[in-house]
Structure 1
Amino acid sequence: MEIIGLSGTNGSGKDFVGELLAREYNFMFISVTDLLRAEATLRREPVEREVLRSISAEWRRESGLGVLVEKAHQEYLKVADKYDGVVIGSMRNPGEADAIHELGGVMVWLDADARIRYDRIQVNVVARNRAEEDNKTFEQFIAEEEAEMHLPEGGDIAQLDGQAVKDRCDVFIVNDGSEADSIRAAIAELLS
C-alpha cells in the first residue's frame, strides 16, 4: 500500500494532484478539508475557512494532532482492496505530516506564485462549489494564507502551521505552469 500526503499553499493544485492520482494511478483521494466541510455542514455552520480551522483545531485538541490523517486512513482501510494506494490531501498541521510518515508514507508540498494561485481559485470558484470559502480579494487571500502558514509564538499547537508541514515534506513541486504538464511528470517520478 502506498500513502501520499499532499500539502501546499492555497490554489497550488492539491485537489488536481489527488484527482490525477485517483484517475490515473488507482489511488483513493481523500481531502481532509472535505471531512471538515462535512462536519461544518452537519453542525449547520457556514463552510468558511475560519470555521474549518476551528473544527480542525478542536478535533486535534480532542484526539491528537494526527486525527485528520487517522480519520482519512480509516476511511481508506474500509475499501483498501479496491485501490493501489491512498492520497490524503490538504494537511496543514505538522502532526498530520508526522502521521503520514508514521504510516510509511511520503509528504508532497505543492506551491506556485501567489497571483497564479489566486487567479486559479477565482476562475474555479463556482466549479469547485466553494463560493463561501474562496470568493475573496487578493489581499484577503494573502492574509488568510499567512494566518495558515505560521503558528504565532506560543500559539496553540492544534492550530494550522503550514510552514512546519512544509519543513516535514519529502517532495516539492512548483506548479506555476499548466497543471497537467508540470504535475504529471513530477507524479510519475514520485511513483517510479
Structure 2
Amino acid sequence: MYFVGLCGLNCSGKTTVVNHFKDNKDFGSLSLSDMIREELRSRNEDINRNNLRRVGNELREKFGSAILAERVIEYVEKQVEKKNWVIDSIRHPSEAQVFINSKYPFLFIKVDCPIEQRYKRALSRKRGEEVNIPFEEFKEKEDRELHSEKEFAQQLLKTFEKANTTIVNESGVEELQKKIDLSVEEFTKKLEN
C-alpha cells in the first residue's frame, strides 16, 4: 500500500487527478478537507470555502498542525481492504510530513496551472463565493492563502516545497493523465529497487 498526496492552488485540477486515480487505477480517495467537512457537519455549519479554511485552522491550532493527516491515516488503517490511496487537499507542511514519515511510501504531487486558466475554471464551476468573482479579487484571495505565516493556518508555499514532483495542467485531461501515469510509473520503479 502507498499514498499519493496532492497539493495545488484552487482550480488547478486536483479533482481531475483524484478521479483518474479512482477510476483508472482503483485507488481509494480521501481529502484532508473531508475531515473538516465532517467537523462542520457535526457543528451544523455550512460547508463553504471560508468555513473550511476557518475550521481547518481551528483544528490545527487545537490538536496540532498535522491533525488532518493523522486522522486520514487513522481512517485508512481501519479499512478492511488494503489498497493504494490518493489524498487531496494537503495544505500545511506538517500534514505532508506526516505522510512522508509514515510507514507507507508516499508520492507527493503538486498540481499547477496558470492563474488565468484557474480563474476561468472557478467561474465555470459556479460554486459559492466564486460565482462572478472579479479576477483581481480571485488573485487577492489566492495571495492571502499563499502568504500566510500563521503557524496553524494553511501554508501553501511551504507545502509545495515538499512535493516530489510538479505536474502542470494546462493542456487538457488526456495530457494530464499521461503526466500522472508517468509520475506513478517512475515512483513505483523506485519502490521496486
Q: Same fold (TM over 0.5)?
A: yes
1:107 aligns with 2:135: no
Give the match for residue 142 of structure 1: 139
The equivalent of 1:87 in structure 2 is 86
Residue in structure 2 matched with residue 22 of structure 1 by the alignment:
22
Unpaired segments of 5 or more residues in structure 2? 186-193
Alpha-carbon shift at residue 191 of structure 1 (Å): 1.7
Taking structure 1 as reference, are residues 80 and 90 closer, same or farther at Cα in structure 2, changes over 3 Å only?
A: farther
Query: In angstroms, what is the RMSD of aligned CA positions?
Result: 1.7
- The change in CA–CA distance for 1:133 and 1:95 in structure 2 (over 3 A counts) is farther
Residue type of the partner of 2:52? L
Structure 1 residue runs of 5 or longer lacking an equivalent are 126-130
> 3-state SS of the aligned residue for 2:81?
helix
**What is aligned with 1:165?**
159
Larger Cα Rg: Structure 1 or Structure 2? 2
**Which residue in 2 is equivalent to 1:43?**
43
The Cα of 1:183 is off from its aligned counterpart by 1.7
Please state how far the C-alpha of 1:80 moved relative to its aligned partner. Answer: 5.4
Aligned residue number for residue 122 of structure 1: 123
Instruction: Give the match's secondary structure for 2:91.
Output: coil
Identity over the aligned pairs, expressed in percent?
Answer: 26
After TM superposition, the score normalised by the length of structure 2 is 0.86
TM-score scaled by length of structure 1: 0.87
Q: Alpha-carbon deviation of 1:133? A: 4.5
1:61 Cα deviation after fit: 1.7
Q: Distance in 1 between matches of 2:26 and 2:78?
A: 16
Aligned residue pairs, count: 182
1:185 to 173, 178, 186: 178
